[in-house]
Structure 1
Amino acid sequence: MSYWKAFAKKYPSVPFLRVDGGSIFVNGVAEAPVLNRWTLEGTYRCGLDALNLSAWDLPVWQEMADLTAAGQIPKEFLDVPLVSANVTAKLPNFPRLQRYVIKEHSIASGNRVRIGVTGLLYDPQERISRSEFEIRDPQAAVRQVMEEIRDKTDYRVVLTDMDIGKAMSLAIVVPGIDLLLVAHNYEVASEPQQVGDTLVVIPVNEGRMFSEVRMNFGPAAGKAQLVTRFVPLDRTVPDDPEMGELVRKAQAEMEDLRKGKSLH
């Protein structure tokens, strides 16, 4: 948050989008319910422009929705821009899913640029219940979305949790994808790769750094020169006071939970 605020202060006339490829929650540990509740609040307060619904996160979103329906979590925390080209929830209380979002911003040339963002969930082993969710073939689904938004947008972004090999294939066979963000729990920083007309960006996991893509548009809004870099979230990036307080509260609750366990 502090980096985004500093960027906005330094470049007040430069628009930016904050997107996330998903896999934000924790699974398989006793502390998961507490950690995920705080992660949900933090994600809500970050004000993302788009967040991919990943296979890893889907069951936790379902759990968060159930807790919200029971009055245990504020309803507004689910007001997060979840996007998915290939998932439709059949459950009545699942968080709202959008096939895509389109953001329009003014640029230095005086033109306006329209950026479309969609997401793809990858579940080749079909671990997600098909009676509760309709999950379409990722390639066919994103191809349909690209065709649908082609004339509505100047630049198109796809967020996904599929592995890099599948993502590369997607970039080759589906036209119209300008930026493909692959959130597949990679631990080592990998340089972005250009695959045809598509830039493939691979963020590092666990929030240790984020990937920044700067787009310099010429007279034609759809043509952009790209500059990419990793921004380490270390001590050089000061803590945001509001988010820092949220982290302290989360840590205190986790510590109380651990102490409670040690007493039994």
Structure 2
Amino acid sequence: MRILATLAAFVFLNAARVTISSAAWPDHPDSLIILHTNDIHAHLLPFDDSQGTVVGGAAARAALIARLRSSDRKTLLLDAGDVFQGTPLYNFFRGVPDYRSMTLMRYDAGALGNHELDDGPASWLRARSEAAFPILSANVFVAGDSSWASRLFPVPAGIRRGARWIGGARVPDGAPLRYLATPYVVREVDGVRIAMLGLTTGEIVSIVSRTRNPGVAVSDPIAVASTLVPELRAKADFVIAVTHVGVGEDRALASRVPGIDLIVGGHSHTFLWDPVFVSNRNANGYGGTAIVQAGRWGDRVGRIAVGVGPRGIRGLTDALLPVRPSEGEDPRVAAMLQPFRDSIATSMDKPVFRNPAPVSMSGLEQGETPLGDFVADVILETSHADLAVMNAGGIRAPLPQGRVTVGDIYTVLPFDNTVVTVPMKGWQVRELLDFIARRLGKGGFAQVSGVQFVIRRGRADYIRVGGHPLESDRAYRVGTIDFLYGGGDGYTMFEKAGPAVRSGVFTRDAAIDFLRRHPGYEFKKRDRIHWEGALPMRDLFHFSR
């Protein structure tokens, strides 16, 4: 059955007006229901949202999913990646409770996110054994000459074309490559053949650790989809791309690969209260592709209803439904999580600091922020440097008002990054700050300490280090993290500098010690970064990775 009929309705529903009652959607007896999540980032336990409401948690998400399934016969449950990294549960258990909880919820498939590779492919594969569902990526590969990789499927020449190793080097044509994850699956749901293709952001070339991912390669996701989607169209009635590329890239994918009916996306942490519809040459009867995404941290579950019958698609609706522990929790998931929770509760609940007001994480890639200044101050003091640089993407959560615990700091700084000190000449510091200036409003922007400068026409000007003008030939000490020193987020200028002094101190541990040494620390902007002219407009759909 090909999807040939005209789309009768493409109804956009605002989640604020939607209840969990199935009456909120068209009552097609043959509707396919797709539930979707993305960017959970190890938020397995409930947390407070910006309004102070307790939301999220795997047990509450499981209960909501069970309620939604109870009245829907044909249901798929999909996740668009970045299951890992973001709370202490990941730091201690490396994804095991995450995939175990998703197995209990009976996920049908998930995409491979970039943060699944934060500790390298071997660590991911160990956690992967807990997932009783396929994890999809058609464009992430591993070198095929190791003993463990020999068990994986080889990558065809047309798929691997243009592949690059993590770090950016091109993969030689003769190098053996194998799929790290499953590229796609085709399932039949009540007579409807559904293809699910996994795609991962090509940004992993620069945003995952090169040292932890030797032998990992990636191809352009759109190029790979262009090759595979025609094949999937011949096998299926309905083609879904489960992507971890961000909404901006999803739009490009839909425009350039018209055979996809639905994109279930992640990576940009976007709350798409209404689906994005991209008109293209899709021969599915409505000439386009719908894109959905459900924010981040699992405090919403998306619900899509697609009317698929003998005459094709009859309608498509979507809504983002709130996950509220007050409305019930799944006892099996709660019981599974309890031992993990108990084992770290004492250490994570230790007090660190008393905060008079909440500290937002917003605006980290749009300019200087109080939270960014704090982390940069931590690195400056720990590294004993002249100036310090911290990538905005490494700061992942706000700080609450009142009692701040060790667990809160882990959530703000979840990555296993350590503080390093790099010797640089003044001209190299200028190159570094010019790069930061070019990244204003984009991924890769940084927060700084010990330095002031003005962003002027995409360059750093009026640079002062320690209150004095930058001197091109003077030697400076630059504090940063090992991820940036290794070229992460495009900071390749560190490769021209001298060898780093490695402290071995995790950034989060340094932050805990810093706050305990400075109980009166004031979170505020300290006038370090200014700009002339209009602030560059950030890509609306891409702000978190």
TM over 0.5: yes
How many Å apart are 1:47 and its aligned residue? 2.3
Alignment of 1:148-167 (within 5 A): 148-167=231-250
Q: What is the identity, as a one-letter code, of the residue corresponding to 2:71?
A: K
Q: What is the identity, as a one-letter code, of the residue corresponding to 1:249?
A: P
Output the TM-score relative to the length of structure 2.
0.42
Cα RMSD (Å) of the superposition? 2.9
Secondary structure in 1 matching 2:130: helix
Instruction: Tell me, in whole angstroms, the C-alpha distance in 2 between the residues paired with 1:9 and 1:77.
Output: 25
Query: Which of residues 103, 110, 114 in structure 1 aligns to 2:193?
Result: 114
Query: Contact (CA 8 Å) 1:25, 1:60: kept in 2 or not?
Result: no
Query: Contact (CA 8 Å) 1:121, 1:138: kept in 2 or not?
Result: yes
Instruction: Tell me, in whole angstroms, the C-alpha distance in 1 between the residues paired with 2:182 and 2:195.
Output: 12
Per the alignment, residue 251 of structure 1 pairs with: 341
Query: Contact (CA 8 Å) 2:99, 2:130: kept in 1 or not?
Result: yes
Instruction: Tell me, in whole angstroms, the C-alpha distance in 1 between the residues paired with 2:319 and 2:140.
Output: 31
Q: What is the identity, as a one-letter code, of the residue corresponding to 1:62?
A: P
Query: Contact (CA 8 Å) 1:34, 1:254: kept in 2 or not?
Result: no
Question: Percent of pairs identical after alignment?
Answer: 21
CA offsets 1:192-226 (integer angstroms, 9 cap, x no match): 11111100102110000111101112323x42411
5+ residue gaps, structure 1, are 107-111
Q: Would you say 1:226 and 2:316 are equivalent positions?
A: yes
Q: What is the identity, as a one-letter code, of the residue corresponding to 2:139?
A: N
Instruction: Tell me, in whole angstroms, the C-alpha distance in 1 between the residues paired with 2:258 and 2:344.
Output: 46
Query: Contact (CA 8 Å) 2:65, 2:105: kept in 1 or not?
Result: no
Pair 224,35 (structure 1): closer, same or farther in 2 beyond 3 Å = farther
Instruction: Tell me, in whole angstroms, the C-alpha distance in 1 between the residues paired with 2:321 and 2:113.
Output: 23
Query: Which of residues 134, 143, 146 in structure 2 aligns to 1:81?
Result: 134
CA offsets 1:130-181 (integer angstroms, 9 cap, x no match): 8522311111101111011111101111122222222111111111111112
Query: Which of residues 200, 209, 217 in structure 1 aligns to 2:300?
Result: 209
Pair 138,148 (structure 1): closer, same or farther in 2 beyond 3 Å = same
Secondary structure in 1 matching 2:234: coil
Pair 260,164 (structure 1): closer, same or farther in 2 beyond 3 Å = closer
Query: Which of residues 71, 80, 91 in structure 2 aligns to 1:32?
Result: 91
Query: Which of residues 105, 121, 141 in structure 2 aligns to 1:46?
Result: 105
CA offsets 1:18-75 (integer angstroms, 9 cap, x no match): 1100011115969613363321322333321111011122234625357x4xxxx7x8
Alignment of 1:91-106 (within 5 A): 92=148, 97-106=181-190
Query: Contact (CA 8 Å) 2:273, 2:320: kept in 1 or not?
Result: no
Q: Would you say 1:177 and 2:252 are equivalent positions?
A: no
Instruction: Tell me, in whole angstroms, the C-alpha distance in 1 between the residues paired with 2:294 and 2:202.
Output: 20
Q: What is the identity, as a one-letter code, of the residue corresponding to 2:196?
A: V
Pair 245,114 (structure 1): closer, same or farther in 2 beyond 3 Å = same
Q: Would you say 1:8 and 2:69 are equivalent positions?
A: yes
Instruction: Tell me, in whole angstroms, the C-alpha distance in 2 between the residues paired with 1:238 and 1:30.
Output: 22
The aligned length equals: 248
Query: Contact (CA 8 Å) 1:85, 1:99: kept in 2 or not?
Result: yes
Secondary structure in 2 matching 1:51: strand
Pair 252,125 (structure 1): closer, same or farther in 2 beyond 3 Å = closer
Pair 237,153 (structure 1): closer, same or farther in 2 beyond 3 Å = farther
Secondary structure in 2 matching 1:104: strand
Pair 259,7 (structure 1): closer, same or farther in 2 beyond 3 Å = closer
Instruction: Tell me, in whole angstroms, the C-alpha distance in 1 between the residues paired with 2:135 and 2:235.
Output: 20
Pair 48,28 (structure 1): closer, same or farther in 2 beyond 3 Å = closer
Instruction: Tell me, in whole angstroms, the C-alpha distance in 2 between the residues paired with 1:30 and 1:214.
Output: 33
Bigger CA radius of gyration: 2
Pair 212,61 (structure 1): closer, same or farther in 2 beyond 3 Å = farther
Per the alignment, residue 109 of structure 1 pairs with: none
Per the alignment, residue 199 of structure 1 pairs with: 290
Output the TM-score relative to the length of structure 1.
0.81
CA offsets 1:75-104 (integer angstroms, 9 cap, x no match): 841544111121223362689621101110
Secondary structure in 2 matching 1:22: coil
